[in-house]
Amino acid sequence: MRPCDNRCVSPSGARHAPPGEITQRRILDPGLIGPLIALVEAATASDGTDPGPNASFINGRALPVPPEIAAQTADFIWRLDGRVVGYAATYGFGGGDTEVVAVVHPTYRRRGIGLALVGAAVDFVRRGGFERALLVVPRTSHGGQALARRFGATFSHAEAAMTLQVAPPDTLGPGAGLDVRAATLADVAVLGEIGSAAFGSPVEEAMAISRSSILATGRTIQVFSYEGTDVAMISVASEGTEASIAGFAVRPEWQGRGFGRAILRWVAGRLAATGHSVTIEVDVTNARAANLYLETGFREDRIYDYLAVATG
């Protein structure tokens, strides 16, 4: 894919020709991992905030793509003078919106590279038949926010990224009465039920997310039961010493019994005890979940805005 072909048209409709060239991949070549991590580190050091993709995310992009998310998965690499200077990635969870992250090396900004990368990513989402692309932009990134406005993006929601600062003990606590097991493909249906009930998403989408997570390298899902009934789930993605908690859900009819607090303390405590740095994200309007995370020892360190671009 060359710059200024039919995939590099600006939102205004005018063609642009930033220097260098763009290539698209569904699975990253291993040789790209190091340059892309160096690119993200340079952007982070310059901006003082994580642009979105990190080492764990990039390493995961070199792994086989589960079929449920293949139509939402693409990587776009911008090279100039033999150097990787820009990167965009799309990802989804088996349905609904497709999310987009992008980063450009500080030295090569204001040349149209970010515009072309995001344009290619949004076009990929459009061709896949998905109605919206969600641009994930750090709230403090003035350049990223301005770029999103070029695409007519509108605010969808915001999530706070939180990091564990005070590790809780790695125990489910006295009286919790919970049993735990590692999820397998045989658990996909019940995981879909729990996720759908807790998050309000379609059961089929929740099942697809669970199935792809179980099959993904470096990700595990644990199921928690009480007196023989599966009541909760939690997913953990880990890469080296970094771990991220997601997909944390308790069936609504079982909430209010302290299960969520016990589960989160146990999982976060076990990860911290094995030397992991632990992160979790929460919708900024979900005060109940945010307070639980604060009580567990997490502290907010950045906010990401999810800005919607209609692709229909």
Residues 269 and 180 in one domain: yes
pLDDT at residue 85, rounded to an integer:
97
- The answer to whether residue 216 is domain-embedded is yes
CATH number at residue 147: 3.40.630.30
Residues 150 and 205 in one domain: no
Looking at the 3D structure of the chain, how many domains does it have? 2
Q: How far is CA 197 from CA 60, 164, 192, 235, in A?
A: 28, 27, 8, 16
* Secondary structure (DSSP) of 146-204: HHHHHTT-EEEEEEEEEEE-SPPPSS--TT--EEEEE--GGGHHHHHHHHHHHH---HH
Residues 210 and 284 in one domain: yes
- The answer to whether residue 83 is domain-embedded is yes
Distance from C-alpha of 105 to C-alpha of 304, rounded to nearest angstrom: 19
Tally DSSP H helices, then E strands, for the chain. 8, 12
Residues in the chain: 312
Residues 207 and 272 in one domain: yes
Contact assessment for residue 50 and residue 138, using Cβ atoms and an 8 Å cutoff: yes
| CB burial string 289-311: b at 16+ within 10 A, e below | bbebbeebbbeeebbbbbbbbeb
Distance from C-alpha of 231 to C-alpha of 169, rounded to nearest angstrom: 22
Please identify, among 109, 131, 157, the residue that sits at the C-terminal boundary of a domain. 157
Segment-wise mean pLDDT, segments of 10 residues, the chain, 312 residues:
39 61 94 96 90 84 83 96 96 86 96 96 95 95 94 97 92 79 95 93 86 83 95 92 92 93 94 95 94 95 96 84
Distance from C-alpha of 66 to C-alpha of 209, rounded to nearest angstrom: 10
pLDDT at residue 9, rounded to an integer:
39
The model's pTM? 0.86
Residues 180 and 83 in one domain: no
pLDDT at residue 93, rounded to an integer:
80
pLDDT at residue 308, rounded to an integer:
98
- The answer to whether residue 302 is domain-embedded is no
pLDDT at residue 204, rounded to an integer:
85
Structure tokens belonging to residue 89: 């990635």
Question: Which residues are CB-neighbours of 34 under 8 A, at least 6 positions away?
Answer: none
pLDDT at residue 4, rounded to an integer:
38
pLDDT at residue 175, rounded to an integer:
64
Structure tokens belonging to residue 200: 């309000």
pLDDT at residue 183, rounded to an integer:
96
Residues 105 and 183 in one domain: no
Distance from C-alpha of 121 to C-alpha of 90, rounded to nearest angstrom: 6
Residues 42 and 148 in one domain: yes
What residue numbers bound the domain in which 237 lies?
166-296
